[in-house]
């Protein structure tokens, strides 16, 4: 109870500090000494207060303090200590408190790292960031208080959702939030720079690090969520175009586009308007994702809030922020188009513009597929779901030219290139198409589109591999990231084309057999764990070149009383053998789902390579020649 009081009043004092920071920033806008004395000190104090509040909630979870409503709703005395701690952010209130903690941490780091920037730019950035922080303070205190008191005090809690009791999902939200909150610094920075007419190469060089940091964490967060969904939910795949998956993908697409635009602004002082719009769009999409999840209007396994008041608050707050940003853009932004040199057709700038168009198209498809069912339900009360076929039909044809431009673009020069010495690019394209044609033909896949798509992915793959051995290339970070992306596309394509699935009902002692394999349900064991009962199936899998034992599991949790299915996966370099079981109601049979998923490991490896490319770019301070 004491920790809850400390946590709550820490939030109140933290909100007061925000008001003081804005007061001193506005009052002493021209007194530049105030920045690194009072404002920096107040920012540190605010960070400490929010940290104290967050740790107070952690202590309440560890001690199973059920006088705290958040702890009561999301914990239980039998839950292992690790999941008591991670349960702190495995709920609506705690996750928003974590979000607020990262907001205050990032603005403090920004103040320290931006000492060489214009003082007025730093002060304005602090003001805009504090407006966002105040919004989250009010949101927490008014609608989502993590320290609400319960009386009489319950003896037990309701427990943590079993699917959240997983190591990957425990660290997935904090890393994802680092990516989301990083976009708030970009948003505040771009509004400040636009107001001061400071959108130039120096600013681009400074803000590029924040874009990279946000992009890296968002990529890792999406990767962890994808891995968790693959083995924990029993879907047997890495991406299902679930609405909450989409709301993390959309800011990633915008951030990736922004990352390429900021390079052009840094090198040639071009695309300033693009950078401003994309910075605003990235943060808006991050906030929209928060609104969609917290309002409960999305039907997804990821959502854990259903309160229209919360959604309405975020929507209103987002509307205010977007209105401010649009006002600043149209009033203060001054285009320098008349002073700029022309952009030639055959240049790196043109290739980036074209690829940005493709990225914006992909973003539009995901946005429409995500929000269209919501609007249709609101207007006509008709409920529909938009699944993979919608996204595949609209995105795959455009992925082909996107990959080709992605392969050619980095080989072009800034300002103007020529077509000399580019014959090797055409030869590699022909080789890639022929290579993919023979692969598809030999595996009896009859889709012409697959041949061209695999060919374009191989084209990017071969070119990036070639560049590793080229003495001319000095862009190792970019090459690793693009190589990782080509490997990702190839792995996804081979995984989707050559996957195999068997679904059957078996009871202990029975077997399933076809021309390629035999599945024997040998035994079923029962074991009592700390907070659940484990039923483990013993399966012998007999294939032509593969014999193994797989042990999928059913877990019957005591609080809340939920049954979950835990997959058993045999991972190799070339494929995953994946099996899950589910009980069939009122029968002694079990539903057995066995999948062969080629190249799953390489999907995870490729995303890690993309992230490594971003990390190398972040720590490489040299300019590209």
**Cis before 590? omega within 30:** no
- Asked if 433 and 451 touch (Cβ cutoff 8 Å), the reply is yes
Q: What phi-psi label fits residue 606: left (phi over 0), alpha (psi between -120 and 50 degrees) or beta?
A: alpha
> Burial of 345 by CB count in 10 Å (0-12 exposed, 13-18 middle, 19+ buried)?
exposed
pLDDT of residue 448: 63
Produce one character per residue of 177-213: b if its CB has 16 or more CB atoms within 10 Å, e if not. Answer: bbbbbbbbbbbbbbbbbbbeebbeeebbebbbebbbb
**Whole-model pTM above 0.85?**
yes
- Asked if 39 and 123 touch (Cβ cutoff 8 Å), the reply is yes
Which tokens sit at 478?
């970019």
**Cis before 560? omega within 30:** yes
Which tokens sit at 94?
């705690």
DSSP letters for 3-32 = HHHHHHHHHHHHHHHHHHHHHHHHHTTT-G
Nearest to 611 by CA among 229, 212, 261: 212
Instruction: Determine the Cα–Cα distance for residues 455 and 396; give it in Å rounded to an integer.
Output: 13
> Strand 575-583's sheet: what is its strand order?
500-506, 590-598, 575-583, 568-571
Please report how many Cα atoms fall inside a 13 Å half-sphere around the Cα of residue 537, on the Cβ side.
31
pLDDT of residue 625: 40
Instruction: Determine the Cα–Cα distance for residues 127 and 24; give it in Å rounded to an integer.
Output: 10
Q: Which residues pair with 563 in a beta bridge?
A: 556
- Asked if 183 and 143 touch (Cβ cutoff 8 Å), the reply is no
According to DSSP, residue 599 is labeled: T
The answer to whether the Cα torsion of 119, 122, 128, 133 is positive or negative is negative
- Asked if 531 and 559 touch (Cβ cutoff 8 Å), the reply is yes
- Cα angle vertex 198, ends 196, 200, to 5°? 165
Dihedrals phi, psi of 66, to nearest 5 degrees? -80, 5
Q: Which residues of the chain have pLDDT under 50?
A: 301-302, 304-305, 338, 622-625
In this structure, how many other beta carbons lie within 10 angstroms of the beta carbon of residue 235? 18
Strands 511-513 and 547-550 turn out to be: unpaired
Tell me the domain boundaries of the chain.
Answer: 1-157, 166-333+344-413, 500-601
Nearest to 143 by CA among 320, 309, 315: 309
In this structure, how many other beta carbons lie within 10 angstroms of the beta carbon of residue 62? 16
Q: Which residues pair with 591 in a beta bridge?
A: 505, 582
Which residue shows structure tokens 């078996």?
A: 506
Which residue shows structure tokens 């992009």?
A: 215
Please report how many Cα atoms fall inside a 13 Å half-sphere around the Cα of residue 276, on the Cβ side.
24
Percent of residues in the chain assigned helix, strand, coil, to nearest 5: 65, 10, 25
Instruction: Determine the Cα–Cα distance for residues 164 and 170; give it in Å rounded to an integer.
Output: 7
Dihedrals phi, psi of 357, to nearest 5 degrees? -60, -45
Instruction: Determine the Cα–Cα distance for residues 187 and 193; give it in Å rounded to an integer.
Output: 10
Is residue 343 classed as helix, strand or coil in its secondary structure? coil
Nearest to 159 by CA among 555, 559, 562: 559
The answer to whether the Cα torsion of 315, 318, 320, 322 is positive or negative is negative
According to DSSP, residue 573 is labeled: S
All residues at 6 or more sequence positions from 400 whose CB lies less than 8 Å from its CB, including other chains: 452, 453, 456
Please report how many Cα atoms fall inside a 13 Å half-sphere around the Cα of residue 111, on the Cβ side.
24
Measured CA to CA in angstroms, residue 332 lies from 197, 251, 281, 323, 416 at distances of 7, 25, 18, 14, 32
């Amino acid at each position: 109870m004491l920790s809850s009081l400390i946590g709550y009043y820490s939030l109140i004092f933290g909100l007061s500090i925000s008001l003081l920071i804005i007061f001193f920033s506005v009052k002493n806008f021209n007194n530049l000494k105030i920045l690194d004395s009072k404002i920096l000190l107040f920012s540190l104090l605010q960070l400490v207060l929010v940290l104290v509040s967050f740790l107070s909630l952690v202590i309440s979870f560890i001690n199973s303090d059920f006088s705290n409503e958040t702890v009561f709703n999301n914990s239980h005395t039998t839950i292992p200590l690790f999941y008591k701690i991670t349960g702190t952010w495995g709920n609506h209130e705690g996750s928003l408190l974590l979000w607020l903690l990262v907001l205050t941490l990032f603005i403090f780091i920004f103040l320290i790292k931006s000492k060489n920037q214009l003082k007025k730019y730093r002060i304005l950035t602090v003001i805009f960031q504090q407006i966002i922080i105040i919004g989250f303070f009010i949101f927490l205190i008014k609608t989502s208080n993590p320290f609400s008191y319960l009386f009489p005090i319950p003896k037990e809690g309701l427990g943590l959702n079993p699917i959240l009791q997983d190591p990957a999902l425990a660290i997935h939200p904090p890393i994802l939030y680092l990516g989301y909150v990083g976009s708030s610094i970009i948003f505040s920075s771009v509004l400040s720079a636009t107001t001061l007419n400071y959108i130039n190469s120096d600013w681009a060089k400074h803000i590029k690090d924040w874009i990279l940091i946000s992009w890296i964490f968002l990529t890792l967060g999406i990767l962890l969520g994808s891995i968790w969904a693959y083995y924990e939910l029993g879907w047997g795949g890495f991406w299902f175009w679930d609405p909450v998956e989409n709301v993390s993908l959309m800011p990633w697409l915008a951030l990736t586009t922004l990352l390429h635009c900021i390079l052009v602004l840094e090198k040639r002082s071009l695309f300033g308007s693009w950078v401003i719009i994309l910075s605003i769009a990235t943060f808006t999409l991050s906030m929209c994702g928060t609104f969609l999840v917290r309002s409960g209007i999305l039907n997804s396994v990821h959502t854990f809030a259903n309160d229209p008041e919360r959604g309405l608050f975020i929507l209103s707050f987002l509307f205010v922020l977007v209105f401010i940003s649009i006002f600043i853009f149209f009033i203060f932004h001054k285009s320098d188009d008349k002073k700029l040199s022309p952009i030639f057709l055959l240049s790196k700038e043109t290739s980036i513009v074209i690829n940005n168009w493709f990225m914006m198209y992909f973003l539009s498809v995901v946005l429409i597929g995500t929000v269209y069912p919501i609007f249709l339900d609101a207007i006509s009360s008709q409920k529909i779901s938009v699944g993979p076929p919608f996204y595949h039909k609209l995105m795959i044809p455009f992925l082909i030219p996107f990959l080709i431009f992605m392969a050619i673009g980095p080989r072009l020069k800034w300002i103007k290139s020529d077509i000399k010495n580019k014959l090797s690019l055409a030869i590699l394209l022909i080789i890639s198409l022929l290579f993919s044609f023979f692969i598809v033909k030999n595996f009896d896949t009859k889709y012409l589109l697959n041949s061209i798509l695999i060919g374009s992915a191989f084209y990017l793959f071969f070119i990036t591999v070639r560049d590793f051995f080229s003495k001319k290339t000095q862009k190792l970070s970019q090459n690793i990231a693009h190589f990782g992306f080509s490997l990702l596309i190839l792995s996804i394509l081979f995984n989707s084309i050559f996957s195999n699935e068997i679904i059957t009902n078996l009871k202990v002692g029975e077997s399933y057999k076809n021309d390629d394999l035999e599945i024997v349900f040998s035994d079923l064991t029962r074991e009592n764990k700390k907070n659940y009962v484990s039923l483990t199936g013993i399966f012998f899998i007999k294939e032509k070149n593969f014999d193994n034992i797989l042990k999928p599991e059913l877990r019957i949790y005591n609080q809340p009383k939920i049954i979950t299915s835990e997959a058993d996966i045999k991972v190799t370099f070339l494929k995953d053998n994946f099996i899950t079981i589910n009980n069939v109601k009122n029968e002694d049979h079990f539903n057995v789902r066995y999948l062969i998923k080629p190249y799953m490991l390489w999907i995870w490896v490729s995303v890690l390579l993309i992230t490594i490319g971003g990390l190398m770019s972040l720590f490489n301070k040299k300019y590209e020649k």
